[in-house]
Amino acid sequence: MKLKALIIEDNEQNMYMLTFLLENNNYEVFQAFNGLDGIKAAIEHSPDVILLDIQLPQMDGYQIAKELRKKSDLQHIPIVAVTSHAMVGDREKAMESGATGYIEKPIDPDNFIQRMESYFSEELQQRKIRL
């Protein structure tokens, strides 16, 4: 049994890299290349964590986070914004929209998983350890 991660990201290279890192760390990965697909996937798969790019076509990351937080059965899922929006205020904007954590690009592949998991709830961390 693996933890499920949903990646919402439009850049193929980034998608590839995040998928690579998560799979290497024993996650089951679901991919979505835009917001709408991302929300559908979240409802369908009830992932344990969502990695969310901010600059996306049509619906941006902030809007996606808000939409996800509206759904009661998805509210507990940690959402980690992974974004190249690294200016002052971008983090606050992401957190206000409903993100649980915030990781700037370029990511450091060596400690990316560790940083992501630091945003997990106690219960989720325990579950991860037990697995």
Continuous segment of H or E residues that includes residue 80: strand 79-83
Contacts of 93 (CB under 8 A, 6+ apart): 62
Using the rule CB under 8 A, give the single segment among 25-33, 40-48, 50-58, 68-76 that binds other proteins.
50-58
Does residue 114 belong to the site contacting other proteins (CB under 8 A)? no
* DSSP type of residue 121: -
Distance CA 34, CA 59 (A): 7
Does residue 13 belong to the site contacting other proteins (CB under 8 A)? yes
- In the shown chain, the binding pattern of residues 63 to 92 toward other proteins, with x for contact by CB under 8 A and - for none, equals ---------------------xxxx--x--
Q: Which residue has the tokens 């679901």?
A: 30
Q: What residue ranges bind other proteins (CB under 8 A)?
A: 11, 13-14, 16-17, 20, 54-62, 84-87, 90, 104-110
